[in-house]
A and B are shown apart, each in its own frame.
Chain A
Amino acid sequence: MSSAVLLEVRNVVKRFGGLVAINGVSFDVHEHEVLGLIGPNGSGKTTMMNLISGALPATDGYIAMDDKLLTDLPTRKIARAGIARTFQLVRVIPSMTVLENVMAGAVFGHKKLWGHALAVYAERQLERVGLVGISHKLTADLTYIDQKRVELARALASDPKVILLDEWLAGLNPTELQTGIELIRSLRDDGRTVILVEHVMDAIRSLCDRCVVMSTGNIIAQGTPAEVLADPQVIEAYLGEDYE
């Protein structure tokens, strides 16, 4: 946890017309840590993820990785710099096979494979997320959970430094959740940095090295999961003032 800062978020503001979704947020993400981005619905977590991945441009402030300014780069260059993500509402290409979906992550970005090497590599990513023997199925024919796995395999295929998981554990049953938690932990052990937006408290407690808690576009607490979850301001933000 004392490791170097990989990603710097500084005074980032995002406005949608008159609505301020992110109101001058600053935090650091260290190398090889799992950072939980938590907070009640509408607090700006997903917007923050979209700003880091470049899906949305920031109105003000900056985000930098390894001294490289990401804020002004187009999405594709942020991806090439080594940031991969999954989406809150799963985004796979239904008309393509499972293998093709995963291959998509390893051709144009941080990793540039093609041909046989690409197919073998993509197949290994599928094994990694626990999908075996379905690589030639159409992704449209998969269950929602398996589609999420395909999406994670695609993100992993780019061999990212930073991986953004937007509620990737949502909707899993208890057994799947356990496997999911193990999987994310293994990503950190691989030396990757993980930022996850999550509502599943068990996952946050057991996975996150640190948490950043957001509420209505501001950071209200930072620290270890135990610290922030005990913070009265955090409890108030989640449950309201009258909670005893």
Chain B
Amino acid sequence: MRITVGVDGTRYTDDVEPRMLLVHYLRERLGKTGTVVGCDTSNCGACTVHLDGHSVKSCSVLAVQADGSEVTTIEGLARDGRMHPVQQAFRDNHALQCGFCTPGMIMQAIDLLADDPDPDDNAVRHGLEGNLCRCTGYQNIVRAVRDAASKMAPGAGPAAEQVAEPTLDPASRSSDADISAPAPSHTGGGS
């Protein structure tokens, strides 16, 4: 089947097998190897990306289901060579060790912050329940997400505002917006 998908700001048209998973399309066809596969039961969340602004486990979505949609992966978060505040917070708080779960964890954290811009520890822990990490014991991940929340809060300062994920959710995008244009909001995918 022929699909057209926007991924990290670029539009791709491809013929894919109907059974091809979105994660395999991203990795094998587009070379978006920043997104990884950690399990085969949709439990680990390592493959989490944003589909039209909301986090999905890309092992649980068929490539054909993404037809006409916008996908953001870990590779599409940085802007003008600057990391997204959540990426920066993960680094600043030593929220990763081997780094394999990190792309999915960051994508899910951005989605979580879009829903709840100021989560407490418990809200972060429950918001990330679908993403497994074997290295960190999660404590620094929780710290990183809350650190990012404070830096992304309105009025938190220009640094955060300059680094933003494009808002890919069509509902929140103005009709004439180009998907590669900087987004007006820095609260992340689901805003």
A and B: real partners?
no
